[in-house]
Chains A and B, each alone.
Chain A
Amino acid sequence: MILLTAIATGLLAGWGYARWTGAAWQSPVFRVTWLVALGFLPQLLAFYLPSTRRLLTNEAASLCLIASQILLLVFAALNMRNPGMPLLAFGLACNLAVILANGGFMPLSTATASRLVSPTVLDRLVVGERVSSASKDVLLQESRIRLPWLADRFLPPQDFPYRFAFSLGDVFIALGTFWILAHGKYSDSFI
């Protein structure tokens, strides 16, 4: 959900700037958009649809995540000319790298989890297991995480009303998405 705010703010920034300058904002145009649908499908089945995700083993869910992110990375590579797409692709590559290095899921350290959820919820989580069947994260001890600086280790300020942990890759993905939409299509004068 938090990444979707990058889409909303990017759209607002693009429209707002276009209105301010009196120019027409144009949607960015992507090549091979079917590849995104194809790439997202495994994750839809493995993480988002309750009826299908409970049928899949952890290994199958992990394969779905990796295959999906590889397809999405191919899409990003084929659309690298869109402003912002290199940032997004870099973020995706960071996430894919840390997922591959840690057994097929995004690592979440016990220290980060303890700042994210209540002690009661934390007690129910098992180190080495996924956080939930809907989650791409696996709970690990900090010392056992490979590429720890790419893991879900960042949290919003304590006063922020919505709690989530995010990775460096997520930051680049959000920035790239914002840039793609704020820039729009072929608006050379902008940014």
Chain B
Amino acid sequence: MKLSFNQIAVSFTQINKTHLQFAMMVLTLVMLVLGAGAPEEVGGSGR
């Protein structure tokens, strides 16, 4: 039983770490793309 709890705890830790890494990767790409690009956006219908 104790082993099962440990396994669950370990798997949650891994999931959180994976999610965190994914979020950091997306954040890195968002900053990179926003910083690198220079489109002029009006939004909506524009005119």
A and B form one complex: yes
Residues of A within 8 A of B (CB): 1-4, 6-7, 11, 27-30, 33, 36-37, 39-40, 43, 48, 68-69, 72, 75-76, 88, 91-92, 95, 99, 106, 108, 116-118, 131, 135-137, 152, 161-167, 169-170, 173-174, 177, 180-181
Interface residues on B, range: 20 to 34
Residue of A whose beta carbon sits closest to that of B42: A163
B interface: dominant SS: helix
Selected contact of A164 from candidates B24, B36, B41, CB within 8 Å: B41
When chains A and B are docked, how far (Å) is the Cα of A167 from the Cα of B40?
A: 9
Q: Is the CB of B26 within 8 A of A7?
A: yes
Q: List 18 A-B contacts (CB under 8 A).
A: A7-B26, A7-B30, A27-B22, A30-B28, A43-B34, A43-B35, A68-B35, A76-B32, A95-B37, A116-B42, A117-B46, A163-B41, A164-B40, A164-B46, A169-B37, A170-B39, A173-B37, A177-B32
Q: Is the CB of A136 within 8 A of B32?
A: no
Q: Is the CB of A39 within 8 A of B37?
A: no
Extra A-B contacts (17), CB below 8 Å, given A4-B33, A162-B46: A2-B41, A3-B34, A7-B26, A11-B26, A36-B35, A48-B34, A72-B35, A91-B36, A108-B40, A117-B46, A137-B40, A162-B43, A163-B43, A164-B39, A167-B38, A169-B36, A170-B39
Q: Is the CB of A3 within 8 A of B37?
A: yes
A-side contacts of B46, CB under 8 Å: 116-118, 162-164
B 11-35 contacts with A by CB, 8 A: 21-22, 24-26, 28-35
Smallest CB separation, B23 vs chain A (Å): 10
Smallest CB separation, A113 vs chain B (Å): 8
Q: Is the CB of B40 within 8 A of A152?
A: yes
Contact status of A165 and B40, CB under 8 A, knowing A28-B25, A30-B28, A117-B46: yes
B-side contacts of A161, CB under 8 Å: 44-45
Q: Is the CB of B36 within 8 A of A72?
A: yes
Q: Is the CB of B28 within 8 A of A117?
A: no
When chains A and B are docked, how far (Å) is the Cα of A40 from the Cα of B17?
A: 25
A-side contacts of B41, CB under 8 Å: 1-2, 162-164
When chains A and B are docked, how far (Å) is the Cα of A45 from the Cα of B18?
A: 30
A-side contacts of B33, CB under 8 Å: 3-4, 6-7, 173-174, 177
